[in-house]
């Protein structure tokens, strides 16, 4: 068993095949897209492979330590950054092949025209916290 993070990007990933911004879709197409992802998560819960999934707002900020009591906040590092994460799902699957299979399925969520987006998803294995017995 291994956990994988499936990362969706607003920006930073290669352009999907069906590359129409979401605000150009019809409301029904958006609903269908959301429904697809909810169904996907529900199905993975049934197979015992779902761990977590969250969507992220595009707003955000960078914060860092800058001396006692005044952490500076810069809004929108996103103008310069190449990458922006839209959301994630964590799955717990038996194999690398299964993780790739599921990511492929998630990438087929419908977009404009009801056609699959063919969105690129980043698939990252988790580092396990516990060492195995091998020495």
Our CB check for another protein shows the closer of 70 and 130 to be 130
Question: Cβ distance 76 to 67 under 8 Å?
Answer: no
Instruction: List binders of another protein among 71-110 (CB under 8 A).
Output: 92-94, 96
DSSP assignments along 85-101, one per residue: EEEEEEEEES-HHHHHH
CB closer to another protein out of 91 and 117: 91
Minimum Å gap between C-beta 20 and another protein is: 31
- One character per residue 30-69, x = contact with another protein (rule: CB under 8 A): --------------xxxxxxxxx-----------------
Does position 127 interact with another protein (CB under 8 A)? The reply is yes
Longest dimension (CA), the chain: 57
| Beta carbon of residue 64, minimum distance to another protein (angstroms, whole number) | 23
- Which residue, 49, 39, 60, is CA-closest to 6? 49
Residues near 75 by beta carbon (within 8 Å), at least 6 away in sequence: 61
> Order of strands, edge to edge, in the sheet holding 50-55?
50-55, 84-93, 2-11, 122-125
Stretch touching another protein by CB under 8 A, among 12-20, 28-36, 60-68, 120-128: 120-128
CA angle (129 as vertex; 127, 134 as ends), nearest 5? 95
| Least separation in angstroms between CB 128 and another protein | 4
- Site of interaction with another protein (CB under 8 A): 1-3, 44-52, 92-94, 96, 125, 127-135
């Amino acid at each position: 068993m291994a956990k994988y993070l499936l990362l969706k990007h607003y920006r930073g990933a290669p352009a999907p095949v069906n590359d129409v911004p979401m605000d150009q879709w019809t409301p029904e197409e958006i609903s269908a897209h959301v429904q697809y992802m909810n169904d996907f998560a529900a199905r993975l819960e049934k197979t015992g492979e779902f761990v977590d999934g969250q969507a992220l707002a595009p707003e955000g900020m960078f914060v860092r330590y800058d001396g006692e009591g005044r952490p500076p906040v810069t809004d929108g590092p996103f103008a310069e950054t190449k990458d922006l994460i839209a959301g994630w799902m964590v799955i717990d699957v038996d194999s690398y092949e299964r993780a790739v299979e599921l990511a492929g399925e998630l990438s087929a969520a419908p977009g404009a025209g009801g056609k699959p987006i063919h969105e690129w998803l980043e698939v990252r294995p988790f580092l396990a916290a516990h060492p195995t017995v091998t020495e």
